[in-house]
Chain A
Amino acid sequence: MKEVWRKEGVAQHEQRLAISDPDDFVFGQAPFPVCCGRGVQIGSGKVIPEINFTLPPMEINPQTWPDVRQQYAEIIESVCTRAVALDVADLLVEFETLPPMTIHPQWGVEITRLLADTLAAYHEKYGLQSALRLTPNDCRDQERPPRMRSGPYWDSMVQLFHAAADAGADLIAIESTGGKEVCDPGLMTADLWQVVYALGVLAPRDMQFLWREIVSACRATGIVPSGDTACGFANTAMALAEQRLLPRVFAAVVRVASVPRSQMAYAMGAVGPSKDCAYEGPYMKAIAGVPISMEGRTAACAHLSPLGNIAQAVCDCWSNESVQNVRLLGASAPVVSLEQLAYDCRLLNVAARSREHALLLRDWLVASDAVLDPQAFVLRPDVVLQIAGEIIQEDNPYRQVRRAVQTTLTLLRAAHRDGRVRIPPVEVRWLDRMERDADRLPDTETAFCEAMHAFLQDVSYLPEEYGLDA
């Protein structure tokens, strides 16, 4: 197995962190900036707003399609108008397709074209620099168990990757779901081993396969392969923890365990910015040096989180996740979101003019959240650098996840003892339980897979779709 990873050039054991000095780990600055779209530079000195939006409650079908188009046309026009009024210099727009728009790629293409044309018109007329990120939703899990490497869902998704550039997209991202069918039941029962299997064995294999295709499509068409997110894994855990359905300490560990799978996108040629809902983004920036998009308090329109401020600390794009096109008192919700993002970025970019001020603001953002929740604690820049430094010592994703989990638990235990992070009494027993499970994780992936084989008999997934023996 080790040989496979090395052949693909993704072994990380000889790499160094792209950022090792905490003072270099700040918002707006990434070691490897990305240029895209109409003059947008990401990670080269300022933070750029990234706006995302979605439809209000409505069905998507041929009968409603004219209304769907009209919704997107209204949104992009009003967002661009407000961006110009607020003197936004650079704007990143993300269009994340809804399932019917990936299954019928021509629909995804049509909306992409509509958005791109409007952005181009505002650039020409007002000088608004912009880029359009197309994020085809990963529709492979429409089948249960999902086929990851073939079939109509795979085909339609690939079709959209290849059509993206012609439709006017400047970047491609994805929220890939490989391993989710195993992770979800693992989260429900807080089964650490099952989550490790999903994130350390299945997801990296899927991302290797998927990202090879995405990078190839982007290179062929001259657009940017940006990044992936562990949304379907770690954000699911976060959302469950926010509803008090899962312990927060468990969600914190899942977040860090997701780092090696998300990192795989960059190992395969993605260059950033990472996708906004990848709260593991700071780890990507530390390890690969790519610029990252993040979301926090501005994403409350989509979901709640305990990471509202700390998520902003080292971001390069600042996003709202997604907002429905509904009318609020001030304006439509996407315009309201855009305004919030624009003002946040103004503040960050004033601070970014001075290294001292930037670090001060970063530290305030961190200090305001980090002690209150273990999920915030694991995003502290110093903690990120420490855990990332451990992860890259390992030479395959399974061992990286194992090390990430063990290191995180050690740090959380110490921080709880020292009063640097608040862990509710009812959750302390979960630290004990996870430590026991983590300590028993085998040294090698082969031994781990053998141990998991019996446990996964009742889980509906297709090992061969991940290049594993059935």
Chain B
Amino acid sequence: MTDIQALYTAVLEGDAPATRELVRQALQEGVDPQKLLDETLIPAMDEVGRRFETNEYFVPELLVAARAMKGALELIRPLLAVRGAEPAGKVVIGTVRGDLHDIGKNLVAAMLEGGGFEVIDLGVDVPPEKFVAAVREQGAQIVAMSALLTTTMPGMKTVIEALEQNGVRPKVKVMVGGAPVTQRYADEIGADGFSDNASGAVRVARSLVVV
């Protein structure tokens, strides 16, 4: 019988091979994949997020945990899809046009994946029309944008305007982040959510999907 506590610990420690093996074992033994996700894997990632926020974990530990979680989801998602179960939400993420910084964006993408979201990463220097096209083609519920430069930050507003002009703004929630970005700026440009850190971004994304 699979040691569920060992699975929880494997995610917590970012041990991807062990996580994958334990999930595989559990599924073979007939453990309900939804239960595995809701009662073990997501709580483990929540604990990773908590440790990160209380400065017990650094980004590398958070990332390896997210990778372990991703490996687990690769086994679980197809089974959930057969039942018609959906991921927590679908997020299109990118760094805005003219900005090549991707560390923060990658971090948020990894945490969102770890939090059960399906993430479509558009990369860096993403033009507004690419965000619009991705929303249309992927049916995303959330657009997440990052900028590190004060000179590229206005690109977030441009994307929101492009979403409006193309008639897709009502279909998506927009969240923003990055070193120069503030809650006030997010409010000014009409974004729905803002976070100044990666694990906070998962909470924001969850709240936006619920709304």
Contacts and interface: CB of A to CB of B under 8 A. Distances in A.
Interface of A: 54-60, 98-100, 141-142, 144, 184-185, 187-191, 236, 240, 244-247, 324, 426, 430
B151 A55 contact: yes
Contacts of B55: 244, 426
Nearest to A146: B100
Nearest to A324: B150
Interface in B115-153: 123-125, 150-151, 153
Contact of A141 (B100, B107, B151): B100
25 contacts: A55-B150, A55-B151, A56-B150, A57-B150, A57-B151, A57-B180, A59-B155, A98-B151, A99-B98, A141-B100, A144-B123, A184-B102, A188-B60, A189-B60, A189-B63, A189-B64, A190-B58, A190-B60, A191-B60, A240-B103, A244-B55, A245-B107, A324-B150, A426-B55, A426-B56
Nearest to A245: B59
Contacts of B60: 188-191, 246
Contacts of B124: 144
Given A188-B106, A188-B107, A58 B56 contact: no
Nearest to A239: B179
Nearest to A243: B197
Q: Which of B63, B100, B124, B125 has the most CB of A within 10 A?
A: B100
Contacts of A244: 55, 58
A324 B180 CA distance: 12
B151 A59 contact: yes
B154 interface: yes
Contacts of A190: 58-60
Contacts of A142: 100, 125
A58 B59 contact: no
Nearest to A141: B100
Interface of B: 55-56, 58-60, 63-64, 98, 100, 102-103, 106-107, 123-125, 150-151, 153-155, 180
A188 B58 contact: no
A-B pairs, 5 with minimum CB distance: A190-B60, A245-B59, A57-B150, A189-B60, A244-B55
Nearest to A240: B59
Contact of B103 (A55, A184, A324, A426): A184
A394 to B, nearest CB: 28
Contacts of B64: 189
B154 A57 contact: yes
A246 B59 contact: yes
Contacts of A236: 103
Contacts of A426: 55-56
Given A244-B55, A246-B59, A426-B55, A188 B154 contact: no
Contacts of B58: 190, 244-247, 430
A227 B98 CA distance: 26
B59 to A, nearest CB: 4
Given A184-B102, A188-B106, A236-B103, A60 B151 contact: yes
A426 B56 CA distance: 7
Contact of A58 (B100, B103, B106, B154): B154
A55 B98 CA distance: 15
